[in-house]
Amino acid sequence: MQESLETLREEILDRVAHCGSEPELDHLRVEYLGRKGRITLLLRGLREIPAEERPQAGEQLNRLRQLVEEQLEARLAELKAREKERILREERVDITLPGSRWERGQIHPLTLVMDEIIDVFLGMGFEIARGPDIEDDYHNFEALNMPKDHPARDMQDTFFVSQERVLRTHTSPVQIRVMESRKPPLQIIAPGAVYRHDDDATHSPMFHQVEGFMVDGHISFADLKGVLTHFIRRIFRAEIKVRFRPSFFPFTEPSAEIDIECMLCGGKGIPKDQQVCRVCRGSGWLEILGAGMIDPQVFRFVGYDPEKVSGFAFGMGVERIAMLKFGIEDIRLFFQNDIRFLRQFACL
Amino acid sequence: MKLTVHWLKEFVSFRGSPQKIAEALTMAGLEVESLVPLPAEGEGGNDWLIEISVTPNRGDCLGILGVAREIAALTGEHFNLPPTSPHAGDPTLKQVIDVKVMHPRLCPRYSARVVQSVRVAPSPSWMQSRLEACAIRSINNVVDVTNWVMLETGQPLHAFDLARLTSKRIVVRRAGAIKKFVTLDGIERQLAPEDLLICDGDAPTALAGIMGGEDSEVRTDTQSVLLESAHFDPLTIRRTAKRLGLHSEASHRFERGVDPEGTLYALDRAVFLLEKMAGGIPLKGVVDRRARQKGPKPILLRTEKVKGLLGIGLSPKETERILKSLGMKIQGRTKAGLKVMPPSFRRDLTREIDLIEELARLHSYDRIPSTLPLVQPGGGKVDAPLRWERKIRSFMVGEGLSEMVNLPFASSDMNRRFCGIWQGQRSPVAILNPLVQGDAEMRLSLIPGLAGNLGAHIAQKARGFRAFDLGKVFSLDPKGVPEERECLAGIIFGRRERKGLRVMEEPPLTLLDVKGLVEGILELAGVEQSTVWTIPDVPSCLHPGKAASLQFVDGSRMGYVGELHPNLCEELGLPSALIFELDIEGLVQYAPRQLTVRSLPRFPSVERDLSIVLEDGFPAQQIVSWIKEQFNHSLIEDVHVFDQYKGAPVPEGKKSLAYTISYRAKDRTLTDAEVNSLHRDLISRIGEVFGAQLRE
């Protein structure tokens, strides 16, 4: 009996371990544990065994039954898990197929650059102001110290709407409008469209500027340098070389133009191959901003006392900054609005 | 202003390469636009041509001597003037020529000398090539000398053939009744009464400060020359030159201010050169008519002001060094500062601030430190208009529309077709001097630009195009004053595209898709409840059956949506497209200022559909409004249309509309019986009111 039980146990364990499917497993269960199963029959046959051997044989048989039940359960769980895994494998999707989504639109690069500029100044505590595109002669020229017949008016070819009204040639009139209606301290930027009678690869009859100015009791040229250097480093990169050189604007004095080192030739101007750099035309520098201390005459026009306040003003072309940042050589690309051009800015 | 390095070196000695000089000039405010080597000339090595962009305030640098002075000031090198043939008192000149200035204010100084026995011939080649390098055409030795001296000194000169000045009497006067004059380029010029003329007695012989006349021009047979070196009122010269479109080297300089003390020097220099170049014999005498004018006043330069404005103090020594290097005289020293007299050739220096700029410039901007000013609180925040713009843009982009930035010019034809969001008939703003004759007006609407964008993309075989423009439109208000409005417009053509596998084709976009876009914007602005869609009064550019106007509840116009009128598409060569345009400024005005959040419902809602058959022309919204406003039951939370169906089995000329009604009580869960009874009641009332049949 001892021996035959041992053989039976081996046989069952071997068959369970090799069983490959659920029905087969059910079959085994019936064969051993069913109503007429072999272990069931053996248990029933205990009655015929001598009474003194019965307890031991009973215990052995019960242990075997328990073991078989456990093994069947374990095998069943294993088979189920394997089946699930097989199904999941079959459901696998080819991840090399393209993803599916609606086509997005694209914000215009000029807006993106304008927003970047605005955000740098907002971060410095500036506030936004706006003015009309169709401006009167007084705000566009006169109050900015450009009287009628002043040669400085030649610097800006003007579109006229009437004798007294023009399409603003710069965003500087917003300076006047703000100072006319408010008192210092002021730190303002004025973004917007401006117009010049000009049309070629680097000039568009309409383009965008951001004007800015700061007026308070003791604002100095050193402050102008500090604010604009900070701005340029935020917009381009922290280590970029910047230079301030004297210039002339009727509404600022001292006036400055601000250059950054050329992004293409790295400020070399004429690199090793002796080809003059086509972006900076050999100078190594690129003009990026016009600025200066607000002229006392401008303060008088808006009713400020130039003995009590001082301030600086600056202006920049948004297209120019965008062209330099992204290596765009023709300004007209911005206004052709070709989707293939716009889409390139999706990652910006 | 063009000049050569060799020429410059005749007046100021400097070491260092042409590149170094160019750099120094640029950093002193005389921006060098280009520096190019000139073809070899023989001795002295290669010369270089420098082109300087001279700002309008620096008339003194429109002469090489002015630039040389600037270099001397920058480098501390010695500056020397070229030789002259000095004038002297000589009464015989009076018998040769007399000068009368009628308007001393317009011609504060008129100097002249006479050179006899000149031999007019071509200039030597070195003179010709240098002039031509500086963009002056060589004419003959006499004319070339006047131009040469102008390039050197910045003082324009004019040479008259003395024999052809028949009256021997120069009169500087306004044109007055003289209507015409032929300039030496052979063009007859129409004069205005205020133009300033140089006359030979009564006959005009030059347009003062701009160009000489044909008659008194120096020719090969000229023997005696009258040299004019004068000073004219910049504004008078500028007005005449501008009106006649006649911009000359002379007018360019007079407009920017010439040194009033420089006329005689230039004259003597020219006489010196005429002796050498044309073998002329000068008369010693000089005519010098001069208006009595107030001399320049000294300027007080305060040390404190310099420090306050530049953010850096300059030592008294450095201050005086800079001022003196620029030719200024220190007339007095006080505790507060200096009394400074600028030189006559620096007409731009009249105020303290002008001197402060000179200090900063010569001290070098690079040596002024960078500081960050204390910013007053108040700014630093994205303001409402910018916040709206950003919100709208990101919504549009998410909906698949790309942003266009178009030039705001339009043809009158396009402005007639697309009148935009304006209320009532509006005239466009016209541009007096347009760049392109066809686009001589400011746009009334953003649509022409977008239609152009669509056209351009169709030409590239684009299958779909969805774009928007957020920008200004312009018109004249009833009083004729220009008005600007910030608008949002969009254009949609074709299907909305999906990226990825083509599972099924997207249905073509319809009027309801573009209406959905606009509803999205209204939702962003929180104004869905304060807007009304109307059918009358839609713009004529739209398909009459597929269009709507939008109004605020107070009746003011807000915009429109619709399909482009098929006739218009045909005329413009465009495919059928959907458009909308909204007055964003108006929209933002109506947007609620504050948001108060409602608590969420605690009990579930119950939904019931109803489907009814109505006349084809019946507006679906009417039932919604009626339920909300007339039926107005407290348990009805919401009503919306979810389907419209035409075709069998619905009879011809009718349509079936399906609505969902949401019922909800605030204080309990509604029972089926309660909702069913209410819903039945609603259906029967709709039947009565609209004569509609319930569809199974």
What would the two tokens of residue B419 be? Answer: 């009148």
| pLDDT value of position B139 | 93
Between strands A127-128 and A186-195, the pairing is parallel
In a domain, A103, yes or no: no
Same domain for A75 and A157, yes or no, is no
Last residue of some domain: A58, A90, A122? Answer: A90
Is A132 close to B484, i.e. CB distance below 8 A?
Answer: yes
Contacts of B358 (CB under 8 A, 6+ apart): B322, B323, B326, B349
> CA torsion B340→B346→B351→B354, rounded to 10°?
-100
Judging contacts by C-beta atoms under 8 Å, the chain A residues touching residue B462 are 339
| Amino acid identity, position B167 | S
Residue B185 in tokens: 């380029």
Distance in angstroms (rounded) separating the CA atoms of residues B63 and B250: 12
Q: What is the rounded CA–CA span in Å between residue A208 and residue A114?
A: 9
Helices (H), B279-421: 303-310, 316-325, 352-363, 384-398, 412-417
Angle between helices B64-75 and B141-153 (to 10 degrees): 30
Which range is least confidently modeled, A305-314, B472-481, B684-693? Answer: B684-693
**Which of chain A's residues have a Cβ under 8 Å away from the Cβ of B356?**
253-254
Residue B621 Ramachandran class (φ > 0 left, ψ -120 to 50 alpha, else beta)? alpha
Closest CB to A100 among B256, B373, B501: B501
What crossing angle do the helices spanning B64-75 and B18-27 adopt, rounded to 10°? 90
What does the domain layout of chain B look like in residue ranges?
2-75, 93-290, 299-364, 384-497+507-590, 606-694
Nearest to B242 by CA among B219, B209, B268, B199: B209
Number of domains in chain A: 2
Q: A86 and A113: one domain? A: no
One pLDDT digit (tens) per residue for chain A, 348 residues:
566 888 888 888 888 888 888 899 899 899 988 888 888 888 888 888 888 888 888 888 888 889 889 999 999 999 999 999 999 999 988 899 999 888 899 999 999 999 999 999 999 999 999 999 999 999 999 999 998 877 777 766 899 999 899 999 999 999 999 999 999 999 999 999 999 998 888 889 999 999 999 999 999 999 999 999 999 999 998 899 999 999 999 999 999 999 999 887 877 776 666 677 877 877 888 999 999 999 999 999 999 999 999 999 999 999 999 999 998 989 999 999 999 999 999 988
As a whole number of angstroms, the distance between CA B300 and CA B354 comes to: 11
3-state helix, strand, coil in chain A (%, to 5): 45, 20, 35
**Has residue B113 got a pLDDT over 60?**
yes
From A122's Cα to the closest Cα of chain B, the distance in A is 4
Pick B432's closest partner by Cβ from A106, A122, A161.
A161
Report how far residue B358's alpha carbon sits from residue B64's, in angstroms, rounded to the nearest whole number.
Answer: 20
Nearest to A253 among B235, B357, B401 (CB): B357
Whole-model pTM: value is 0.88
pLDDT of residue B696: 52
Helix (H, G, I), strand (E, B) or coil at B442: strand
Q: Are residues A57 and A117 in the same domain?
A: no
**Pair B165, B216: CB distance under 8 Å:** yes
Last residue of a domain, one of A27, A62, A90: A90
Q: Which of B31, B30, B39, B236 is nearest to B132 (CA)?
A: B39
Own/partner pairs, B596-604, CB within 8 angstroms, 24+ separation: B601/B664, B601/B666, B602/B666, B603/B664, B603/B665, B603/B666, B603/B667, B603/B668, B603/B669, B603/B670, B604/B664, B604/B669
Give the bridge partners for B173, in sequence order. B197
**Nearest-CA neighbor of A106 among B468, B506, B578, B494?**
B468
Say yes or no: A286 and A164 in one domain: yes
Residue of B nearest to A246 (CA): B29
Fold of B299-364: Phenylalanyl-tRNA Synthetase; Chain B, domain 1 (3.30.56)
- Is B483 a residue whose pLDDT tops 90? yes
Residues 6+ apart with CB under 8 A from A199: A205, B435
The dihedral of CA B373, B377, B380, B385: what is its sign?
Answer: negative
Cβ burial, residue B608 (10 Å; 0-12/13-18/19+): middle
Quick count: other Cβ atoms within 10 Å of Cβ A284? Answer: 20
B256 interaction partners in chain A (CB closer than 8 Å): 151
Q: Which CATH architecture has domain B606-694?
A: 2-Layer Sandwich (3.30)
Task: Compare all CA atoms of chain B with the CA of A120 and give the residue at the minimum distance.
Answer: B380
CA distance A248 to A251: 9
Q: Do B365 and A245 touch (CB under 8 A)?
A: yes
Do both A43 and A120 map to the same domain? no
Burial of B288 (0-12, 13-18, 19+ CB in 10 A): middle
Write b or e for each residue in B328-354: b if 16 or more Cβ atoms lie within 10 A of its Cβ, otherwise e: beeeeeeeebbbbbbbebbbbbeebbb
Chain centre distance of CA B281? 53
> Which residues in chain A have their CB less than 8 angstroms from residue B361's CB?
246, 254
Is the pLDDT assigned to residue B42 strictly greater than 60? no
Give B468's contacts in chain A (Cβ within 8 Å): 105
Q: Does the structure show a pLDDT above 70 at B480? A: yes
Question: What Cα–Cα distance (Å) separates residue A342 from each residue in A171, A200, A247, B397?
Answer: 26, 21, 35, 12
> Which CATH number goes with the domain that contains A327?
3.30.930.10
- A118 and A85: one domain? no
- Superfamily assignment of B384-497+507-590 in CATH? Bira Bifunctional Protein; Domain 2 (3.30.930.10)
- Are residues A237 and A325 in contact, defined by beta-carbon separation less than 8 angstroms? no
Q: How far is CA B126 from the centre of its chain?
A: 43
Last residue within a domain, chosen from A60, A90, A120: A90
| C-alpha–C-alpha distance, residues B521 and B104, integer Å | 68
Burial class, B395, CB count within 10 angstroms (exposed 0-12 / middle 13-18 / buried 19+): middle
- What's residue B13's pLDDT? 87
Q: How far apart are CA A115 and CA A118, in angstroms?
A: 5
Identify whether the C-beta of residue A109 lies closer than 8 Å to the C-beta of residue A348. yes
Residue B67 has pLDDT above 60, yes or no: yes
Query: Distance between CA atoms of B556 and B549, rounded to whole angstroms?
Result: 11
Are residues A126 and A240 both part of a single domain? Answer: yes
- Cβ distance of A134 and B409 shorter than 8 Å: no
Top-level CATH class of B2-75? alpha beta
Percent of chain B with pLDDT over 90: 72
- pLDDT for B490: 97
Q: Is there a domain that residue A102 lies in?
A: no
Residues A141, A144, A145, CA angle at the centre, nearest 5°? Answer: 95
Whether B308 sits inside 8 A of A218 (CB atoms) is yes
Domain that holds residue A197: 109-345
Lowest mean pLDDT among A35-49, B255-269, B487-501, B650-664: A35-49
- For A155, nearest residue in chain B (alpha carbons): B56
Structure tokens at A253: 């004095």
Greater model confidence, A348 or B354:
B354
Q: Write out the CATH class of domain B93-290.
A: alpha beta
Helix (H) or strand (E) holding A310: strand A310-317
- Partners of B55 on chain A (C-beta within 8 Å) are 247-248
**Nearest of A304, A332, A348 to residue A112 by alpha carbon:** A348
* Model ipTM value: 0.88
Do A82 and A118 lie in a common domain?
no
**Nearest chain A Cα distance for residue B267, angstroms:** 26
CA distance A155 to B495: 48
The answer on A338 and A302 residing in a single domain is yes
pLDDT tens, position by position, B531-546: 888 877 788 899 998 9
Nearest to B123 by CA among B273, B281, B282, B283: B273
Say if the Cβ atoms of B406 and A335 lie within 8 Å.
yes
> In B557-619, at which residue ranges do the beta strands (DSSP E only) sit?
557-564, 578-583, 606-615
- Rounded to whole angstroms, how far apart are CA atoms A201 and B608? 64
- Pairwise CA distance, residues B630 & B612, whole Å: 18
Q: Does the pLDDT value for residue B4 go beyond 90?
A: yes
Chain A CB contacts of B255 under 8 Å are 151
Which of B608, B577, B604, B624 minimizes the C-alpha distance to B669?
A: B604
What pLDDT does residue B496 have?
81
Average model confidence (pLDDT) across chain B: 91
User: SS3 of B205, please?
Assistant: strand
pLDDT level of residue B43 (50, 70, 90 thresholds): low
Question: What's the token pair of residue B218?
Answer: 């120096």
> Does residue A121 share a domain with residue A252?
yes
Range with the poorest average pLDDT among B165-174, B259-268, B290-299: B290-299
Subunit contact B365:A256, Cβ cutoff 8 A: yes
Residue A14 resides in a domain = yes
Interchain contact, A248 vs B453, CB within 8 Å:
no
> pLDDT at position B679, please?
93
Does residue A97 sit within a domain? no
Q: Looking at the predicted structure, is the pLDDT value of residue B184 above 90? A: no
Task: Give A-chain residues touching B74 at CB under 8 angstroms.
Answer: none
Contact (CB, 8 A) for A168 and B489: no
Residues in Cβ contact with B153 at an 8 Å cutoff, skipping those fewer than 6 apart: B63, B65, B262, B265, B266, B269
> For residue B168, what are the contacts with CB-CB under 8 A and spacing of at least 6?
B96, B97, B98
- Give the residue, A294 or B596, on which the prediction is more confident: A294
Chain B residues within an 8 Å CB radius of A276: none
What Å distances lie between residue A152 and A74, A171, B86, B183, B195, CA to CA?
Answer: 95, 16, 37, 27, 22
Give how far Cα B464 sits from Cα of A225, B505, B626, Å: 49, 13, 39
Closest CA to B150 of B262, B14, B239: B262
User: CB–CB of A105 and B256 under 8 A?
Assistant: no
pLDDT of residue B304: 93
**For chains A and B, what is the number of CB pairs under 8 angstroms?**
258
Same CATH fold assignment for domains B2-75 and B606-694 = no
Q: What is the pLDDT of residue B395?
A: 97
Q: Which of B312-321, B473-482, B499-508 has the lowest mean pLDDT?
A: B499-508
Confidence band of B695 (pLDDT split at 50, 70, 90): low
Beta strands in B98-249 (DSSP E): 98-101, 109-116, 157-161, 169-174, 180-182, 188-190, 196-200, 203-207, 211-212, 225-231
On whether residue A96 sits in a domain, the answer given is no
Decide if A72 is inside a domain. Answer: yes
Same-domain check for residues A119 and A213 = yes
Max Cα–Cα distance, chain B, nearest Å: 129
- Taking an 8 Å cut-off on Cβ atoms, the answer to whether A149 and B466 are in contact is no
Kindly state whether residues A80 and A221 are assigned to the same domain.
Answer: no
pLDDT at position B44: 59
Confidence of residue B346 (pLDDT cuts 50, 70, 90): very high
Closest partner CB to A230 (pick from B372, B400, B435): B372
H-helix segments, B113-175: 125-133, 141-153
Nearest Cα of chain B lies from the Cα of A84 at a distance, in angstroms, of 29
- Going by the DSSP 8-state scheme, the letter that residue B626 receives in this structure is I
Report, as an integer, the average pLDDT of B613-632.
90
Query: CA neighbours within 13 Å on the CB side: how many for B104?
Result: 6
